[in-house]
Chain A
Amino acid sequence: MVAAIFRELGDSVQEALRALGRYALFAARVAGETPRSLLRFRLVVEQVYNAGALSLVIIMLSGLFVGMVLGLQGFDLLQRFGSEESLGTAAALGLLKELGPVITALLFAGRAGTALASELGLMRATDQIAAMEMMAVDPVRRVVMPRFLGGVIAMPLLAAIFSMIGLYGAQLVGVKLMGVDQGQFWSQMRAAVEFEDVMEGALKSFAFGAACSLVAVYEGYHSVPTAEGVGRATTRTVVISSVSVLLLDYILTAVML
């Protein structure tokens, strides 16, 4: 009984390590292909549009609501210490360093990541990837790379828009609704927020973009070519991306603090 449990545990660990190895090999291939793929810029721009522009509405709406909640909660908390004028600083740092990159990445995984995975999965299921291979066109270069790079480029842009709209939402609630002085809100924020804070957020969103896009293209490209296989690939994309983003967030925060 105990031996069976250990055997099963061993098998699971072995399979997890194997999967990690496959991911590492694929990531190495993707990294190696990146310089050459950037030269086919038109294909990348198309994918920036698909991953980025088509996610704008959901990102902007979410940014607004998150910013408004931040305004309410922040005001309530800061009021207890009599420093509600610092709301701008608190909202800006919260959004730029944490909420912007993390929530954008989670939304990206749900919206663009699943779209990428299912698109690639369907291309495999309908033999489009095999057809490319038969036309001597490398599908990793032609299909995977532009989508990966599109996601990597789109994510920091989306996170910046999220933070900007979020800040507007926080200001809307804090200043217009709760009566925080508008001058104090903006001037304290400008005085406290450093360039490094902005860079920290940008670096995080870049790393999350790479992680989410890699997971999406890997899962889609390697999906089992059936309806069930494509469905499983999209689910795995959301689950693995979300966990990776939160894990990476902790690691990056610990390193950069």
Chain B
Amino acid sequence: MSSVHSRGSDAIVRVRGLHYRAGGREIFAGVDLEFPRGAVTAVMGPSGSGKTTLLRLITGQARPDRGTVEFDGRDVARLSRRELYAMRRRMGMLFQNGALLTDFDVYENIAFPLREHARLPERLVRHLVLTKLQAVGLRGAARLMPAELSGGMARRVALARAIVMDPELLIYDEPFVGLDPISMGVVLRLIRRLNDTLGVTSIVVSHDVREITAVADYCHLLSTGRIIASGPPAEVAGSRHEDVRQFMHGLPDGPVAFHYPAPAYAEQVLQERA
């Protein structure tokens, strides 16, 4: 935790006293977080702990009830629509399922942000698209339609699209869900390699502990609306905090109980017989 905060002045995203409720449930109850520039930071936590919601708050798709989320020193919730879109041009996001535009082939999917934001000659668009496809190893798949891609390939195409505008911040929402070990290895390597070669900052939301801790510089562990651990992965993995141990080692029972709250089993069974 200390190492994250020591670089706090150089954080690209800073979350302060975040409170957020959705569907009558408290998702965040006073969360403070920082994402250091140039690092791969993992946000981990059990399902339903608010990881994806945190990304929605960082990208301005949702507004906090209390507290602030800052991107490069500016409060995201206070940005106008135009400013919000200007901020998003500095971000690239990889969605859980890739979110490729199904009407376009791979090439056009990657060219889409270029065509929408810049009036570039077709030759330059082609050069940029092929460069990004080469970076994710899919130059040969340029003319395939999204429906023809495997899950791993779709994720890599979406990654190429996310980096085509040369963002400063890359956000990955559950990038390993549903991938086979080979595809997972490829995506893992790409996260690290793109972060280092492009000099970007990466935020990876995941609950695949072993995979993400292998590439992350820092990690934050979310549970019941709070941050229960922060720091380099090895430090967090060695934590003696019970909640942290249960999550990091995948223990079936612990602070997060195996049984959903219910009346005593015997009492309920006898009641039904009566």
B88 adjacent to A130 (CB under 8 Å): no
Number of B interface residues in the complex (CB < 8 A) = 23
* Tally of A-B Cβ pairs under 8 angstroms: 48
- Interface members, chain A 106-138 (any B CB < 8 Å): 123, 126-128, 130-138
Interface residues on A, range: 10 to 19
Chain A nearest CB, measured from B122 CB (Å): 15
Interface flag for A22 (CB, 8 Å): no
Interface flag for A176 (CB, 8 Å): no
Interface flag for A190 (CB, 8 Å): no
Contact residues in B for A128 (Cβ distance below 8 Å): 99-102
A136 adjacent to B102 (CB under 8 Å): no
Chain B nearest CB, measured from A40 CB (Å): 10
* Chain A 53-95 interface 0/1 with B at a Cβ cutoff of 8 Å (1 = within): 0000000000000000000000000000000000000000000
B93 adjacent to A131 (CB under 8 Å): yes
User: A133: which of B61, B86, B112, B117 is its contact (CB, 8 Å)?
Assistant: B61
- Residue of B with least CB distance to A143: B101
Contact residues in B for A133 (Cβ distance below 8 Å): 61, 88
Interface of chain A, helix or strand or loop or mixed?
helix
User: B61: which of A130, A136, A138 is its contact (CB, 8 Å)?
Assistant: A130
* Chain B 74-91 interface 0/1 with A at a Cβ cutoff of 8 Å (1 = within): 000000000001101101
Contact residues in B for A132 (Cβ distance below 8 Å): 101
Chain B nearest CB, measured from A73 CB (Å): 44
- Residue of B with least CB distance to A141: B116
| Chain A residues within 8 Å of B, Cβ to Cβ | 123, 126-128, 130-138, 142
| Nearest 4 pairs of A and B residues by beta carbon | A127-B99, A131-B99, A136-B85, A136-B88
| Chain B residues within 8 Å of A, Cβ to Cβ | 59, 61, 85-86, 88-89, 91-93, 95-97, 99-102, 112-113, 116-117, 158, 161, 165
